[in-house]
Amino acid sequence: MIVTMDKILKKAKNGRYGIAAPDAYSSTSVMACFQAAVNQKAPLIISCLGTTNMEETADITRFYAKKYPEAVVALHLDHGGAYEEIMTALRNGYSSVMIDRSKLPFEENVKEVKEVVRVAHAMGVSVEAELGHVGTGIEYEKTRDSGLTHKDEARQFVEETEVDALAVAVGTSHGVYKGTPRLEFTLLREIAALVNVPLVLHGGSGTGDENLKKCISCGIQKINLFTDMANPAGEAMALYMRGESSKDPDIAAALEMFQGKKRNFYVAPMVGAEVYRRKLEHYIQLFGSSGKA
């Protein structure tokens, strides 16, 4: 069943657990998300960027939602850019959208988010926005400090925009970290005490299991993930095509599963999907959302 993100996250906030929000935008990655959700009986927020098969991913998600009616998922636009892009997501049945205006000054961010909230809420769709700015791993050391969310602005931002979930910058980064992640747990706790909506952590990959668990205990409900599933999945596909092995137990298990099958354009993505599912299920268990669907 496709539900709004709000519904999933409110339950997570009350139950004090986290929800994995994997980026998926191909038939096999969406399939892997559903398999993980069903195996773990866990709610999931399937996320797609506007630039990566947004329309196809919506139809693929609806296909698997019919195939696995017991799965509880939200279909979410990640990092919504242009207004037109967000409207396209709404038109394509997304149950949740992020509008990312985190690079704009506070007042402009508020103004543009409010506009999207008005339209989305009228259609029964949840909205996530970002305050502060989560940068990319390659420039982590340079941009980490300047991007951190100001706690005094957080409450005002949520009240004025009426967003359903707030993405905060507390020391994480997108993609692969250049440097060691340093998280601001005190700041996170303070923000969580000031705002009443669920909080979102972007850049979950590479942050470390202990850090992520601590973020959940400090008030995070949604954790965005991509690199930690997509990179090993890609690696597994390459190893599979070359007939090589891996020390990573998830990759090794996937390679064994497909041993003796044809090495081609159809099977290789299935090997990748198996690794993606295994890595995702690890995070679902870590976040405490198994059995919560």
Between 11 and 202, CB nearer to Zn ion: 202
What tokens appear for 113 in the block? Answer: 């988010």
202 binds Zn ion (CB under 5 A): yes
Rounded to the nearest 10°, the torsion over CA 53, 54, 59, 63 is: 80
Between 202 and 278, CB nearer to Zn ion: 202
Stretch that binds Zn ion, among 41-49, 114-122, 202-210, 258-266 (CB under 5 A): 202-210
DSSP annotation of 23 reads: B
The Cα 150–Cα 130 span in angstroms is 12
Between 65 and 113, CB nearer to Zn ion: 113
Nearest Cα residue to 77 out of 54, 97, 102: 97
The single residue listed with the structure tokens 């990179």 is 231
Between 202 and 292, CB nearer to Zn ion: 202
List phi, psi (to 5°) of 201: -110, 115
Angle, in degrees to the nearest 10, between helices 209-217 and 267-287 = 50
Q: Count how many Cα atoms sit within 13 Å of the Cα of residue 220 in the half-sphere of its side chain.
A: 31
Applying CB under 5 A, the site for Zn ion has a residue count of: 1
292 binds Zn ion (CB under 5 A): no
- Shortest reach from residue 270's CB to Zn ion, in Å: 27
Binding mask 271-290 for Zn ion (x = CB under 5 A): --------------------
* Residue numbers annotated as active site: 78
Stretch that binds Zn ion, among 5-13, 56-64, 197-205, 238-246 (CB under 5 A): 197-205
Stretch that binds Zn ion, among 51-59, 102-110, 188-196, 201-209 (CB under 5 A): 201-209
List phi, psi (to 5°) of 54: -60, -45
- In single-letter form, the type of residue at position 97 comes to V
Between 78 and 274, CB nearer to Zn ion: 78
Residues of this chain, 107-166, that bind Zn ion according to CB under 5 A = none
Minimal CB distance to Zn ion: which residue? 202
- Shortest reach from residue 174's CB to Zn ion, in Å: 5
Between 22 and 43, CB nearer to Zn ion: 22
What tokens appear for 204 in the block? Answer: 């979950």
- Shortest reach from residue 167's CB to Zn ion, in Å: 7
List phi, psi (to 5°) of 177: -70, 130
Do residues 61 and 47 touch, judged by C-beta distance below 8 A? no
76 binds Zn ion (CB under 5 A): no
- Shortest reach from residue 157's CB to Zn ion, in Å: 17
The continuous run of DSSP H or E covering 209 comes out as: helix 209-217
Stretch that binds Zn ion, among 23-31, 182-190, 196-204, 244-252 (CB under 5 A): 196-204
- Shortest reach from residue 229's CB to Zn ion, in Å: 14
Do residues 73 and 43 touch, judged by C-beta distance below 8 A? yes
Binding site for Zn ion (CB under 5 A): 202
